[in-house]
Structure 1
Amino acid sequence: MRYIFFFFFVLLTLSGCNKHEEPSSNLIVSSFKLPPKNESAASSDAKDEMAAPASPEIPQKIIKEASLRFETDNLEDTFNRIQSAVTLNKATIQNDSEGKDYNNIYRNLTIRVPSQNFDAFINAISKGVSYFERKDISSQNVTEQYIDLTSRLNTKRKLEERYLQILQKATKISEILEIEKQISTIREEIEAKQGQLKYLESRVSESTVTIEFYKTIAQKEGVKTSYGSKIWAAIQSGFYSLSEFLISIISVWPFIIVFCIFAYFIRKRFKRKKK
């Protein structure tokens, strides 16, 4: 009986020890949290922190562009009509060029239109055109690219904040210089992404419309105006040629006199031989 009671006592003692040791070991393990080993891990943690709160849905980011080419009977009237559409839709003429080819006179316009007025502007231009030689309208969805740039920008900003916190605690000059170097690199990346985001937002907010319109020079008009001008040009050309010939003769008069004297003596000599 003594051995049996002793055996039960040992079992109870061991079970009690195990119950007291387990909580203490769990407390020690849970009190430590390993920091991220590198910058990519820190970046992923920052992304997780950003993804945690529910963010509002970002509206679609669409880049719209159009290229138009058509013929017109009156360049000035067409330009005035386009300018009225520009004013009505709060657009701006970015480039304006005109010129003349062999058989037509043309004018090219590059116009920036607010995206919300893009369709209304195209409709206003199309009303006075019988047909388009070229009418290309394109749209590009850049929502995913916009979200990606925004996410990367926020991640870089959080990383910059962490380095600034570390910089406040640094004491060695070597550590301070190294941290400032990292901050400078991150700042350049932030500015580059801000520039990309600003450019993307500009293209989304304002659409680009290129318009080329021209007037063909009629062949009959060319014939009517060219016959008289050709005759007058021929008369002038003949007069100028005759004047140049006379001037050239006058300019070589000494040689003509010498030639005449030389020819006179030769002729006189031949006459003497005949006698």
Structure 2
Amino acid sequence: MRSIFSLFVFFLILSGCNKSNEPDSKDLAVSAVMVAPPPPGASNSNRKDEDKSESSPEIPQKIIKQASLRFETDNLENTFNQIQKAVESNKARIINDSEGKDYSNAYRNIIVKVPSQNFDRFISDVSKGVSYFEVKNISAEDVTEQFIDLTSRLKTKKKLEERYLQILQKATKVSEILDIEKQISAIREEIEAKEGQLKYLESRVSESTITIEFYKTVAEKEGVKISYGSKLWTAVKSGFFSLSDFLISLISVWPFVIIFFVLAYFIRRRFKRRKKE
């Protein structure tokens, strides 16, 4: 009996030792997954690409800003002085200034060019003291894609011009030289046109245009300030001037008046003779 029990214990010990020596399935799965080593030079190329991407300058956003303001004021002169102070403090400039008066309003229109970085501050300075705006339109147009397209086209044209200049140096025949110079002239015109478009975009981006219209309502009672007698005297003078203008116009056509009376006299005399006959 003891021998049977000892054999059973011996087999248990052997089975435990075999299980402890076998590797775990999880360990086998983990060891089987091997990360492929990077190819030689791959890390260096990636670093170079990253450095290039970091070193390449980003094109700033190109935005054209415009604004149109219209509001009522109690004093045109004070409002204009406030706008002038805003112009000076924001390094702007007035490019157009007009004023006038109609039946019910006295108004003034001003067009200002403001550096784009001072656009918001200028509008804030002008808006001080304004209770409400009848018109307040602010627009921002993104022309970055247009700027990039023009820039790339300009670079392409300049490279093409350089190639034609290199070919021109090697040309020997007069006909070839004339043809190449003709091509270079056409390319140069396109380059100058695109450079002009870029300068125009840059000027519109760098300076914003703001139109300001402010007015003062003229009270209807102001017409009562003129007395009734003054109105009558004004009407008499107007009538006299009209009569004098009419007489002057008659004098200017005096030859035709004389001819008319002479013809009328002879026609009347002839009719009288016929009646007598």
TM-score bucket of the superposed structures, by smaller chain:
0.5 to 0.7
* TM-score where L is the length of structure 1: 0.65
Q: Which amino acid aligns with 1:76?
A: E
| TM alignment of 1:17-166, pairs within 5 A | 55-166=56-167
Q: Which amino acid aligns with 2:117?
A: Q
Write the distance in 1 (CA, Å) between the matches of 2:190 and 2:235.
71
Q: Which amino acid aligns with 2:175?
A: S
Shift of 1:54: 7.1
Write the distance in 2 (CA, Å) between the matches of 1:159 and 1:137.
41
Write the distance in 1 (CA, Å) between the matches of 2:173 and 2:111.
58
Write the distance in 1 (CA, Å) between the matches of 2:118 and 2:235.
57
Q: Secondary structure at the match of 1:65?
A: strand
Q: Which residue of 2 aligns with 1:191?
A: 192
Shift of 1:228: 5.2
Q: Secondary structure at the match of 2:129?
A: coil
Tell me: CA distance 1:53–1:183, structure 2 relative to 1, closer, same or farther (3 Å): farther
Tell me: CA distance 1:154–1:236, structure 2 relative to 1, closer, same or farther (3 Å): closer
Write the distance in 2 (CA, Å) between the matches of 1:185 and 1:92.
38
Tell me: CA distance 1:235–1:160, structure 2 relative to 1, closer, same or farther (3 Å): closer
Q: Which amino acid aligns with 2:119?
A: F
Figure out how many residues of one structure are paired with residues of the other and give that number: 192
Q: Which residue of 1 aligns with 2:169?
A: 168
Write the distance in 2 (CA, Å) between the matches of 1:132 and 1:227.
39
Shift of 1:231: 4.3
Write the distance in 1 (CA, Å) between the matches of 2:238 and 2:200.
60
Q: Mark the runs of 5 or more structure 1 residues left unpaired by the alignment.
A: 1-51, 245-275
Shift of 1:235: 6.7
Q: Which amino acid aligns with 2:91?
A: K
Deviations 1:18-51 (A, max 9, x none): xxxxxxxxxxxxxxxxxxxxxxxxxxxxxxxxxx
Deviations 1:129-183 (A, max 9, x none): 1111100000000000000000000110000000000000000000000000000
Write the distance in 2 (CA, Å) between the matches of 1:54 and 1:97.
51
Q: Secondary structure at the match of 1:90?
A: coil
Q: Which residue of 2 aligns with 1:223?
A: 224
**Percent of pairs identical after alignment?**
76
Q: Which residue of 1 aligns with 2:213?
A: 212
Q: Secondary structure at the match of 2:194?
A: helix
Write the distance in 2 (CA, Å) between the matches of 1:205 and 1:225.
52
* TM-score where L is the length of structure 2: 0.65
Shift of 1:236: 5.8
Q: Which residue of 2 aligns with 1:28?
A: none
What value does the CA root-mean-square deviation take over the aligned residues? 2.4
Q: Which residue of 2 aligns with 1:33?
A: none
Tell me: CA distance 1:189–1:108, structure 2 relative to 1, closer, same or farther (3 Å): same
